[in-house]
Amino acid sequence: MKVPYQIQNLEQYHRNYQKSIENPHEFWGDVATHFDWHEPWNSVVNSDFSNAKTTWYEGAKLNITENCIDRHLEERGQQAAIIFEPNDPQKPSQTLTYQELYDRVAEFATVLTNIGIQQGDRVCIYMGMIPELAIAVLACARIGAIHSVIFGGFSAQSIADRVIDAEASCIITCDGAYRGNKEIPLKPVVDQALKLCDTVSEVVVFKHTGSKIEMSPGRDLWWHEQVNEIREAGIPWEDPASVDAEHPLFILYTSGSTGKPKGVVHTTAGYMVWANYTFVNVFQYQSNQVHFCTADIGWITGHSYILYGPLSAGATTLMFEGIPTWPDAGRFWDICQKHSVDILYTAPTAIRSLMVFGDAPLEGKNLSRLKVLGTVGEPINEEAWHWYNEKVGNKNAPVVDTWWQTETGGVMISNLAGITPAKPSYATLPLPGILPALMDENGNLIQGNSVSGNLCIAKPWPGMIRTTYGDHQRCIDTYFSAYQGYYFTGDGCLRDENGFYRITGRVDDVLNVSGHRIGTAEVENAINMNPQVVESAVVGYPHDIKGQGIYAYVILNKEVTDDEAATTLRVQILETVTQVIGPIAKPDRIQFVSGLPKTRSGKIMRRILRKIAEGELQNLGDTTTLLDPLIVDSIIKGKL
Ligand code: PRX
């Protein structure tokens, strides 16, 4: 299947870009004609940034799973839709053809309807990276239920917070998951979470590890029993729901600069078009290729580039349950060889963690099928970029550095593999439809090249965030208020002499640890829950593998004098953070301090704490406005 809107050369990129900016109605109207709709749209785009109101394809009706599955059946019924590579390399991999995926999704969608889930209901999904996770997500979309996938590493408290915010009535989970040499309990964490919230009336449990779990009668249902029930009763499969273009497809929680994660809402038609368009263009996907995105479906990358992008394009998408370094650091390369992977999409953190092992794990691995390599989630340093390009791609596979966010739904700034030029550590040029704008501190637009500023987007695009669930004002305040008439990304950015963009990192109080977004306020809240903590301040610092590490300055309610007590306390604080958020938010360093550098109005001067954490102890800038300038000396003295 040749996709008519796939850009074939640089000249065509420039032409399409121009048209998309000058006439978005025609441009995105044309692209959308290549999808299946129940009803056509009345207008392609309507947008009012001041109220954070944008609609795409208003008036249209569709079902996204028909576009991801049903429409491929005739041509690709027997082609693999999903290849599942289990954590344990000794266990067989599984393949679901498009026909099998259709059957399983349609059947499970019927199960959901049968247990009372209706269009618009929120369903949280807390599972490991197994095919049933994909099936659960797609089954929700098929009946018009709004899915909210919660990353399997989040704690009971984090699940409860999300369930409460989304007012979810159902959770789909599994008994446990495998990650490397660990078996991770999932259902027991859901049980704990449900002690903290009471909206959930059904928990559907898929049996994966076979570990012993509690099932609460009347609330907990086995996946396989529910499937058997509709089979035995001969209940016909549910027809796909016909939903409005702007019907919410999913909520995905992401960290911001406040302590409470936001529920980013994406709607159906615009998100579908954007995930598909960016997939076929950035990766230059060709028919029958195998696409391996190593992200977890609990993050936006997994939503857009394991599920909706590849499946809407009729691709074969590979789901991997495990981790890159188990049983050894050659696991990714074994998978690429075993499943003849054409496109590999991963995070700089993963690349850096594999570089540490040198070239040996790559030796003898046949990676000649690899045609495109992608990175996402954080800035990639030049060294990692070159290693990826040379050692993994053998300089034969273009590297695409894709910049985007949970809120943007799909890639915004990236080279198009082999079509537009690459530049190490640069995301390079915007996708069609994306008009980047750099702003200075005073809200003025920065014109010209060789400049840097805060990155905004000046025009609506199909995959953009529509609201923050349950609190639209928060969406306006966070994204559309800093610069009138612009979407503000929260990222700093430079534009080089050729107009290429390089994302330099967050300019707000959000950390990017191993490609995961973590709010400093969230980590501080968690640390402060430890009864011995009075106050804390969290900042990021450069970390060789994770990109950024978490550095916590902590004031205790009584001084610790011996090392042993300090170590015990550190361990306890780490446990508190794990319980409140999850292991991903654990600080790498904890320094006990007697005070924090605050202004007279009580604001913590993080700039100073950041410099100390970075080891830059000389040029701390102006400290005269501090309430107690001497505190800085004592923090420097106590630095680890
Ligand atoms: O700071 C940018 C960074 O990751 C943030 C978005 O995080 P999240 O919503 O979790 O989505 C990650 C996957 C899309 C951005 O604000 N970021 C993402 N991609 C890049 C990046 N920074 C530099 N280069 C990138 N390619």
Residue 386 lies in a domain: no
Average pLDDT over residues 232-244: 96
Structure tokens at 512: 């990017």
CA distance 319 to 154: 20
pLDDT score at 1 = 53
Q: What is the pLDDT of residues 498-511, one digit of tens each?
A: 999 999 999 999 99
- Asked if residue 409 and residue 547 are part of one domain, the reply reads no
Indicate whether 381 belongs to any domain. no
Domain that holds residue 189: 10-323+402-493
Report the CATH number at residue 587.
Answer: 3.30.300.30
pLDDT of residue 256: 85
What is the DSSP code (8-state) at residue 234?
T
376-412: buried (b, 16+ CB within 10 Å) or exposed (e) per residue?
bbbbbbeebbebbbebbbeeebbbbbbbbbbbbbbbb
List pLDDT tens digits, range 593-614. 999 999 888 889 999 999 999 9
Evaluate if residue 7 carries a pLDDT over 90: yes
Whether 96 and 224 share a structural domain: yes
Q: Which of 179, 252, 189 is nearest to 469 (CA)?
A: 252
Across all residues in the chain, what is the average pLDDT?
A: 96
The alpha carbon of 378 and the centre of ligand 1 are apart by a number of angstroms equal to 5
Note the Cα 375 to chain centre separation in Å: 13
SS3 content of the chain, % helix, strand, coil (to 5): 35, 25, 40
- pLDDT of 336 reads 98
- For residue 140, which of 60, 252, 301 has the smallest C-alpha distance? 252
Q: Which atom of ligand 1 is nearest to the CA of 402?
A: 26
Mutate to test the pocket of ligand 1, among 278, 299, 378 (most ligand atoms within 8 A of CB): 378
Whose CA is closest to atom 5 on ligand 1? 405
The 8-class DSSP code of residue 237 comes to P
Confidence of residue 560 (pLDDT cuts 50, 70, 90): confident
Q: How far does Cα 162 stand from its chain's mean position?
A: 16
Number of folded domains that form the chain: 2
Of all atoms in ligand 1, which is nearest to the CA of residue 401?
26
Picking from 439, 458, 493, the residue at the C-terminal end of a domain is 493
Dihedral over alpha carbons 31, 33, 38, 39 (to 10 degrees): 90
Confidence category of residue 12, pLDDT binned at 50, 70, 90? very high
Prediction pTM value: 0.96
Residue pointed to by tokens 């902590």: 554
Q: What is the DSSP letter of 235?
A: P
Length of the chain, in residues: 640
Q: Answer left, alpha or beta for residue 195, where phi above 0 means left and psi between -120 and 50 means alpha.
A: alpha
pLDDT range class, residue 621, cuts 50, 70, 90: confident
Rounded Cα distance between 412 and 491, Å, is 13
In a shared domain, residues 275 and 144: yes
* Ligand 1 binding pocket mutation candidate from 517, 518, 520, 584 (most atoms within 8 A of CB): 517
Burial degree of 534 (CB within 10 A; 0-12, 13-18, 19+): exposed
Answer yes or no: do 458 and 555 share one domain: no
Residues 46-65: what's their mean pLDDT? Answer: 98
Which 3 state secondary structure label does DSSP give 115? coil
Q: Is 38 helix (H, G, I), strand (E, B) or coil?
A: coil
Domain end (from 439, 464, 493): 493
At CB < 8 A and 24+ separation, what contacts does 413-417 make?
A: 413/501, 413/503, 414/282, 415/282, 416/7, 416/13, 416/281, 416/282, 416/284, 417/282, 417/283, 417/284, 417/371, 417/372, 417/374
Q: Are residues 436 and 526 in the same domain?
A: no
Specify the pLDDT at position 640: 61
Q: 448 and 536 share a domain? A: no
Closest residue to atom 8 of ligand 1, CA basis: 405
Q: Measured from the CA of 407, which atom of ligand 1 is nearest?
A: 9
User: Does residue 256 lie within any of the structural domains?
Assistant: yes
The CA distance from 549 to 539, in Å, is 8
Instruction: Please check whether residue 416 lies inside any domain of the structure.
Output: yes
Q: Is residue 179 part of a domain?
A: yes
Q: What is the whole-number distance in angstroms between the Cα of residue 235 and the centre of ligand 1?
A: 44
Residue 362 falls inside a structural domain = no
300-314 pLDDT, tens per residue? 999 999 999 999 999
pLDDT band at 639 (very low <50, low <70, confident <90, very high): confident
pLDDT tens for each residue of 477-491: 999 999 999 999 999
Centre of ligand 1 to C-alpha 574, Å, is 26
CA of 411 to the centre of ligand 1 (A): 10
Q: How far is the CA of 588 from the centre of ligand 1 (A)?
A: 21
Answer whether residue 508 is part of any domain. no
Whether residue 345 is contained in a domain is answered as no
Kindly state the helix (H) or strand (E) to which residue 133 belongs, with its residue range: helix 131-143
Residue 523 φ then ψ, to 5°: -65, -40
Residue in 76, 45, 69, 71 with CA at minimum distance from that of residue 59: 45
Same domain flag for 545 and 463: no
For residue 452, the 8-state DSSP code is: E
Q: Are residues 133 and 221 in the same domain?
A: yes
Pocket test for ligand 1, best of 376, 412, 494 (most atoms within 8 A of CB): 376
CATH number for the domain spanning 182: value is 3.40.50.12780
Residue 182 exposed, middle or buried by CB count within 10 Å (0-12, 13-18, 19+): exposed
Ligand 1 interacting residues, C-beta cut-off 6 A? 254, 300-301, 376-379, 401-406, 427, 489-491, 503, 505-506, 512, 517
Ligand 1 mean position, distance from CA 486 (Å): 19
3-state SS string for 392-419: HCCCCCCEEEEECCHHHCCCCECCCCCC
Centroid of ligand 1 to alpha carbon of 92 (angstroms): 34
Whether 281 and 233 share a structural domain: yes
Does residue 48 sit in the same domain as residue 195? yes
Q: How many CB atoms lie within 10 A of CB 93?
A: 15
Question: What tens digit of pLDDT does each residue of 284-304 get?
Answer: 999 999 999 999 999 999 999
CA atoms lying within 13 Å on the CB side of residue 16: 24
C-alpha span between 398 and 280 (Å, rounded) = 15
Helices (H), 168-222: 187-194
pLDDT band for 617, please (50, 70, 90 cuts). confident
- Cα(521) to ligand 1 centroid in Å equals 19
Name the residue of 491, 506, 548 to mutate for ligand 1: max ligand atoms within 8 A of Cβ.
491
**Chosen domain end from 463, 493, 523:** 493
DSSP secondary structure code for residue 70 in this structure: G
The reported pLDDT for the residue numbered 112 is: 98
The set of residues, in sequence order, having a beta carbon less than 8 Å from that of 182 and lying 6+ positions away, is: none
Q: Are 392 and 362 in contact (CB under 8 A)?
A: yes
Q: Using CA atoms in the order 346, 352, 353, 358, what is the torsion angle rounded to 10 degrees?
A: 120
Do 134 and 104 share a domain, yes or no?
yes
Same structural domain for residues 82 and 188? yes
CA–CA separation, 43 and 59 (whole Å) = 7
